[in-house]
Amino acid sequence: MSAMIILGGVGSDCPQDWQLVFQDSASPVSEEIVFFHDRVMFILTVIVVSVLWLIIRSLVNRYYYRFLVEGTTIEIVWTLIPAVILIFIAFPSLRLLYLMDEIIEPALTLKAVGHQWYWSYEYSDYVKDSLEFDSYMIPSEDLNPGDFRLLEVDNRLVVPSQTHIRVLITGADVLHSFAVPSLGIKMDAVPGRLNQVGFFTKRSGVFYGQCSEICGANHSFMPIVVEAVSLDRYLQWLSAKIDE
């Protein structure tokens, strides 16, 4: 039984035509990133509207002009207000940076290696000889109906859902970047160095990403596909892969 038959019937998360918002979040970190973005955008909107209103009033009313540019009081106000706004932005930002960098005790550790121009993955937690395979983009002429052009791969990175996953990331030749927007992860793949990133998928699904580093001529042709499935389906896939 092929891995694709075992894993069929799950939803996909990828960019849509004319999309103006983030992809649907599938991890707690991704949800926090979206929430922080919305909070900052709200603050930015209030600032823009307020400053624009003051500028217009100062142009049509001399009293407002004098109040905005002269005097000790206005100097203090124009200093304190931005400082308070920066504090309201900085503390949630630092908290989010800490959450993104934190690696909770993982139930599964994988290794992703960036090559020119494809990814290879290694599962070493289960078998004596680690399970390794390459993941190449499927050419457009080989796509099946419903597949996504430039995003589909021949071997997906399959993980169990609702499980803490750690990915060790490195590069085999040049700089790459392992990025999956729906999971809120983006980490550089540096030759000679191991970086790590953790994620927790809250639901099953297929999550698409790409190399986000300009790594050469075929930079745009090394997609990443993470498939989160139930534990039973994951064990079936793992058994089928080991038996190949």
The structure's pTM equals: 0.81
Residue 191's CB: how many other CB atoms inside 10 A?
13
pLDDT band at 66 (very low <50, low <70, confident <90, very high): low
pLDDT one-digit tens code per residue, 177-229: 999 999 999 999 999 999 999 999 998 889 999 999 998 888 889 999 999 99
Domains and CATH numbers, the chain: 28-101 (1.10.287.90), 108-243 (2.60.40.420)
**Which pLDDT score, from 0 to 100, does residue 178 have?**
95
* Across 234-240, average pLDDT: 88
CA 219, 214, 100: angle at the middle one, nearest 5?
Answer: 105
Better-scored residue on pLDDT, 102 or 232: 232
pLDDT one-digit tens code per residue, 138-153: 998 888 888 888 899 9
The residue type found at 145 is P
CA–CA distance, 58 with 30 (Å, rounded to integer): 42
**Which pLDDT score, from 0 to 100, does residue 74 have?**
77
What torsion, rounded to 10 degrees, do the Cα atoms 174, 157, 106, 126 define? -110
Q: Hey, is 123 helix, strand or coil?
A: strand
Q: Hey, is 114 helix, strand or coil?
A: strand
**Which pLDDT score, from 0 to 100, does residue 41 have?**
93
Give me the chain's average pLDDT, please: 85
* Across 81-96, average pLDDT: 90
**Which pLDDT score, from 0 to 100, does residue 12 have?**
56
DSSP H stretches of helix in 102-226: none
Q: Is the sign of the CA dihedral 115, 121, 124, 130 positive or negative? A: negative
**Which pLDDT score, from 0 to 100, does residue 69 have?**
66
- 147-152's contacts with Cβ under 8 Å and 24+ in sequence apart are 148/12, 148/14, 148/208, 150/220, 150/221, 150/223, 151/14, 151/208, 151/210, 151/223, 151/225, 152/223, 152/225
CA 239, 103, 91: angle at the middle one, nearest 5?
Answer: 145
**Which pLDDT score, from 0 to 100, does residue 241 have?**
83
Q: Hey, is 155 helix, strand or coil?
A: coil
Asked if 124 and 109 touch (Cβ cutoff 8 Å), the reply is: yes
What torsion, rounded to 10 degrees, do the Cα atoms 235, 157, 34, 107 define? 40
Helices and strands of the chain, counted as H and E runs:
5, 11
Asked if the peptide bond before residue 119 counts as cis, ω within 30 degrees of 0, the response is: no
**Residues contacting 91, CB < 8 A, separation 6+:** none
CA–CA distance, 112 with 153 (Å, rounded to integer): 15
* Across 160-172, average pLDDT: 93
pLDDT one-digit tens code per residue, 3-48: 443 344 344 577 777 778 888 888 999 999 999 999 999 999 999 9
Q: Hey, is 169 helix, strand or coil?
A: strand
- The pLDDT > 90 percentage for the chain reads 50
